[in-house]
Each structure stands twice: as structure tokens, then as C-alpha cells.
Amino acid sequence: MIRAVIFDLDGCLVDSEPMALEVLGEEMAAEGAPTSAEELRKRFLGVSIQSVVDHITRFTRRAVLPDFPQRFEDRLLARYDTELRLIPGATALLDALQAQGIGMAIATGGSLRRLEVTLRVSGLERYFTGRAFSADQVRQGKPAPDLFLFAARNLGIDPSRCAVMEDSPHGIAGARAAGMRAVGFVGGSHLSGMRDDHAARLRKAGAAEVLKDLTRMRDALLSGC
């Protein structure tokens, strides 16, 4: 019986990933670690900024300037007020789960700062007061289970009674490692042109179902209730 749903934020509730991947690619190139748009989506979607820094360090064989995360976030968040959009159907999904008495939380690989700004600008903060968590708060980010287990502890709900909505194979793997039901989502605009391929990657990572829009997401998350 699912009693709580833990959401990834970027690419699942807000359509922010196109901006994030664009800015990330530009900043990585400036550090001497250029990458393609396809590799960005396949390798870095859903990971913490520290994982990106570690990759750049290995690729360039030199220390990354310590202001890299700050530069990336400053450029990204500057665009949010005018460009950030909700995934269609996000508030309807959250309203339905809330009305049913299902607990809800956020578990994002983004920083606490980015999490706070995203919830405020998008208008989603009312759903997640005191229940929005970042990889900044745990030892290891996705694909480790730490963040999902941290969210479950704060909700006071056993991991086996939690479901997770994720758009990243890293997130799906982390949810499954935490003993949670995982449902994949490929409706974000950053996956345009590669939805079927990405859906296959989510299933391989352990997603019980993969959906292209939020119409059936409540039922998929609560399957077995």
C-alpha cells in the first residue's frame, strides 16, 4: 500500500531541464570538458553538481575552480523568472494525491538554493513545505539510495510504502535501491526526439512503468493501493 510519493523536481514537475542542460554544457565547455547534447542527457541528467565537477576533474586532469557550481546556478536561476514552466498536469496530479491523503516530498539532485528558488517561482512550494530535500543533505546523491531514504525518514513512512516519480535512470536506480516503487516519466521537453530510447533506459534501471504524460501518473504511482 503506497502511502507517500517522492518526486524528482526538474523534468518531472517543472520543465527546467532544457535550460539546465544548456547552461551546464556551456559551463563544462568553458572548463575544457566539452560534451554533446546527447551525452548531457544520458550521462548527467539527475546527478548532483558535485558529480559533474568530479567528471570535469577527471577529464581535464586538473582541479575545477571552486566557483563552478555558483556560476552554473547563477546563470540558470537568472532565467527562471521568465522561462520556468510547469509540466502540464503537475498541479492536478499533486491536488489529487493531496486529496487522497498521500504524503508527498521532493528529492532532487539540485542544490538547496536551486530547490528553494524553483519551488517559489513555480508556485509549488505550498505542496512541499518542510518536505523538500536536496542531495546537499545526504552523503551520496543519486543513484545511491541515500536521498530517497532521507525523504522517507522525514515523512515518517517506511520506504516500502513509498513510490518515486523520476525522469532519470540514476533516480530510478536510487529509488529501487531504497526499496521503493519507481515510475518513469519522459514527458519533459528535454527528451524530445529520444523519448522511446530514454523510456527503455528507465525500464532497464528498474522503472515499473514509464509514462509520456501525467494523465495516468496517479494510478501508476499508487498501483496496488
Tell me: the pLDDT tens digits for 60-101?
999 888 899 999 999 999 999 999 999 999 999 999 999 999
User: How high is the pLDDT of residue 44?
Assistant: 85
Q: Which domain holds residue 56?
A: 17-83
Same domain, 108 and 212: yes
Exposed, middle or buried: residue 22 (CB in 10 Å: 0-12, 13-18, 19+)? middle
Q: Kindly state the average pLDDT of the residues 31-49.
A: 86
- Please state the domain count of the chain: 2
> Within this chain, do residues 176 and 113 fall inside the same structural domain, yes or no?
yes
Q: What is the CATH number of the domain that holds 124?
A: 3.40.50.1000
pLDDT at 224: 52
Same domain, 74 and 134: no
Q: Are both 149 and 161 inside the same structural domain? A: yes
Among 83, 109, 141, where does a domain finish?
83
Q: Please indicate, yes or no, whether residues 23 and 113 belong to a single structural domain of this protein.
A: no
200 pLDDT above the threshold of 60: yes
Per-residue confidence band for 211, with pLDDT thresholds at 50, 70 and 90:
very high
Are residues 66 and 105 located together in one domain of the fold?
A: no
